[in-house]
Amino acid sequence: MIIKTGKFVSHAGALQWGSGKVLDVNDNRATILFSDGVSRKIAASHFDTLQPAEAASYLPPPEVVAVVKARPAPRKAKKETLTPAEG
């Protein structure tokens, strides 16, 4: 199988990953975003484990909205109290 950017594939040895979309390909490896939300780099020597997949079978991972945590208000510094001079 020829791996090209934008193609949809599945990994024969890891069907639990779901289908994936090929994001980048070079001579050594392909970067694929699978339906489980994990981007994986597959070595060229393992391209034979990739199979063509239907575009409809690819479910892009849901976008995660960053939650901003509320921070407590900073504490005010205590004023130094002056003690009366002994005397």
Q: Residue 69: its pLDDT value, please?
A: 79
Q: Residue 87: its pLDDT value, please?
A: 53
Amino acid at 64: V
The third-level CATH classification (topology) of the domain covering 8-57 is SH3 type barrels. (2.30.30)
CA dihedral in degrees (33, 39, 43, 44; nearest 10)? 20
Amino acid at 78: K
Amino acid at 60: P
What pLDDT, in 10s, does the model give residues 28-82? 999 999 999 999 999 999 999 999 999 999 888 777 776 777 888 777 777 776 6
Q: Residue 61: its pLDDT value, please?
A: 77
Name the nearest CA neighbour of 52 among 9, 12, 14.
9
Q: Residue 43: its pLDDT value, please?
A: 96
Domain ranges of the chain: 8-57
Model pTM score: 0.70
User: Whole-angstrom Cα distance, residue 63 to residue 67?
Assistant: 12
User: Whole-angstrom Cα distance, residue 41 to residue 57?
Assistant: 20
